[in-house]
Structure 1
């Protein structure tokens, strides 16, 4: 995973592509469950008449074994609608090419790197993602996986530390 990020960041530095970052708020809550999952009622929610009942989950929640997978499937389906293709070797990397316009998305849990060479296209990707999920726009990428990104665009250099 980190190797793929480093390769795409090197490509972005070489071609002077934009590197932007977004954060998905409560990402796992976006996942749709494909099976029936029940849980005991949360503390403070139980009433005397419903004491023996359980809750059937409609969506994924944090702590479920299925949460990460269901979120990734939901993201894959959503981004596919926008024309992105998932990389078969690295399932967290998505690409879209339209003529000379190049766009990449890298998803790591709830962090998304958006890399590309056309600002209006990248803006439309951010707008579209925000219409699908609750997002926070972090602007130009500064950190990924706890690694600081240093960039000197005039020399087409990018450093990680």
Structure 2
């Protein structure tokens, strides 16, 4: 008898005898009727059809008897019905629904203003990635809600490296460099200005062709069969950080800044 290590990967059977489970039990101290101390079972994973043999092959001449048995399958996972819009409905029907709707409208206005996508007829070979809403609120030190944010993100986990994107690296400032700058500012009593770019990723332009499904609830009935071809980097796709960094790098150099090679 041979056995293979458990890989942790599920491979359901797609046809009869595609995957068979076998088990040998014995020796059993209490002798069964007929003097048996061992028995072996075979179970087809697809049909749940069991085959058992209670004697050593050399002792019998008849073929193995096939007996259909009821197999009890147990799993630690709980199955639930899929809820595609459960969280969205909960948000819209909450006490702060008007504020959440305003956050969604503000996000969509940014999408249209930056011309993030164009609607096209779907080619036959195209691979679509989905999109969804992500809601978050910002609170102050006392826990009071200050900002309601609704972010439209793509399901970038469906992208394939080398097909939908190539490079994803985006440099990040080191905290020690920030602390050094703050120390210099404090020593010379400089003023510190902080700038926040709203929907920063939408400023980056895509070099690859990425296609996305239309957002539920914002589909024009006249263009219901069309898909969205992304023109700019949207939150969720793999290359979004790098596209935004390239855009920021070109813009900051126009103001006379020089790139520090030691701190990119």
Q: TM-score, normalised by structure 2?
A: 0.32
Distance 1:35 1:76 in 2: 19
List alignment gaps of at least 5 residues for structure 2.
1-173
Which residue does the alignment assign to 1:19?
192
Which sections of structure 1, spanning at least 5 residues, go unmatched? 92-161
The structure with the greater share of residues assigned to helix is 1
- Of structures 1 and 2, the one with the larger relative CO (CA 8 A, separation 6+) is 1
Q: Please name the residue that 1:28 is paired with.
A: 201
The root-mean-square deviation of aligned C-alpha atoms, in Å, is 1.8
Matched residue count: 90
CA shift, 1:54, in A, is 2.3
1:65-104 maps to which residues of 2 (within 5 A)?
Answer: 65-91=238-264
- The alignment status of 1:38 with 2:229, answered yes or no, reads no
Where does residue 237 of structure 2 map in the other structure? 64
The TM-score normalised by the length of structure 1 is: 0.51
The SS at the match of 2:233 is coil
Greater fraction of residues in strand: 1
- Compute the displacement of 1:15 (Å): 2.0
Give the counterpart of 1:8 among 169, 178, 181. 181
Q: Which structure has the bigger radius of gyration?
A: 2
